[in-house]
Amino acid sequence: MSTFISSWKSPSNIALVKYWGKKPTGIQLPANASISFTLSNCTTTTKLTYTEQETLAIKVLLDGDEEPSFVHKIEQFITRIAPIFPFVKTGRYLIETSNSFPHSSGIASSASGMSALALCICDIAVEKGELTENNFNRTASELARLGSGSASRSVFGPMGEWGKHNDYAGSSDDYAIGYDDIHPVFKDYCDTILLVHKGQKTVSSTVGHGLLDNNPYAEARFAQAGKNMTKMKAILKSGDLDAFIELVESEALTLHSLMMSSNPYFILMKPETLQVIEAIWKKRAEDGVKWSFTLDAGANVHFLYPQADKDSAARFIESELKQYCENGAYIYDEVGMGAERV
Ligand code: DP6
């Protein structure tokens, strides 16, 4: 009975064109293609110690403390990836994981966490002779997708694209691809995450995706997302920041409008979310800065700006935006190069 050990550090990512809604058939296939900036500082580091045995046993340590609440999600993940790697169905798993960001920050750890675990499992599959290095990243992304859709994009930097789209060569619903056909301004774009509300979300992403099945605007949204992917490709290439701002903010507000138009409906923004948005819009109108925002499925605001504006944006955060953050908390981040073995 052999023991295998692997460790990976994998980042979070922030979608510019959003994944919201799954295909009715298949497991965790997206209703539309999406594209994200891979981040650098918000990461999960996971060490997997896997010992062959005839039964399945899973133990998860978060920051050194046993976390039984994660076990169910990991069992579900193992069931989903077993058709790809049957060996995963049995064995003793010791999963030691930690996040660079506070657990209570409201930042979802599923993208970084699921991609880190998927990468560890792929290392073991290579050692067992069941995977070649040529297919490594693609398979890791596919496994990550089965854990959490957005996790598929975290394997790659500076950007990840997931979902079949004719304008993105090699794209697939099954796994994400790395995307770097981008203007230099985007290669180190900044994303400061303003922690407006640190608590647990009232609706999980997984439940939120499901609500699109009965949303009357769903089909129009999926068509719009396809068109926005086409527009985004040209924007990323040209570095047209005015067009970038318009598309990214529209995507964020569309995501939240879908939540508001679902049944049951819900609002994940907080009053401070809108105050931050208004402050960014006011600054842009007054000073002509190319600063913008996006949102994920929560109240926090991702404040986006070019690296060249880092110092002035930092002053703006301190003087104007910080007051809307819970306990004044925010996390500075920027575009990064994807997951790393540690
Ligand atoms: C709003 O990937 O968290 O962040 O696939 O059910 O695990 P599951 O959902 P998840 O959804 C992320 C939604 C989003 C947009 C995005 O990242 O594209």
For 208-264, the pLDDT digits (tens) are: 899 998 999 999 999 999 999 999 999 999 999 999 999 999 999 999 999 999 999
**Bridge partners, residue 59, by sequence:** 94
Total of domains in the chain = 2
CA–CA separation, 255 and 74 (whole Å): 28
**In a shared domain, residues 87 and 117:** yes
Q: Let me know whether 300 and 191 are in one domain.
A: yes
Three-class SS state of 250: helix
Secondary structure percentages of the chain, helix, strand, coil, to 5: 45, 25, 30
Domain that holds residue 283: 185-334
The pocket around ligand 1, CB under 6 angstroms, is made up of 15, 18-20, 28, 34, 108, 110, 148-150, 205-206, 209, 255, 296-297
pLDDT per residue as tens digits for the range 134-145 = 999 999 999 999
> Residue 60 burial by CB count (10 A; 0-12/13-18/19+): exposed, middle or buried?
buried
Whose alpha carbon is nearest atom 11 of ligand 1?
Answer: 205
Quick one: pLDDT at residue 109? Answer: 81
pLDDT beneath 50, residues of the chain: none
Q: Are residues 205 and 274 in the same domain?
A: yes
Question: Which of 156, 183, 210 is a domain's end point?
Answer: 183
Q: How many CA atoms lie within 13 A of 8 on its CB side?
A: 24
Expressed in angstroms and rounded, the spacing between residue 54 Cα and the centre of ligand 1 is 34
At 200 the pLDDT is: 65
One domain for residues 131 and 243: no
User: Would you say residue 108 lies in a domain?
Assistant: yes
Which tokens go with 116? 């880190």
CA–centroid distance, 142 to ligand 1, in Å, is 15
Query: H/E element holding 281?
Result: helix 271-287
- 287 three-class SS: helix
What is the domain-level CATH number for residue 20? 3.30.230.10
Instruction: Compute the distance between CA of residue 175 and CA of residue 138 in angstroms, rounded to an integer.
Output: 6
Q: Is residue 46 part of a domain?
A: yes
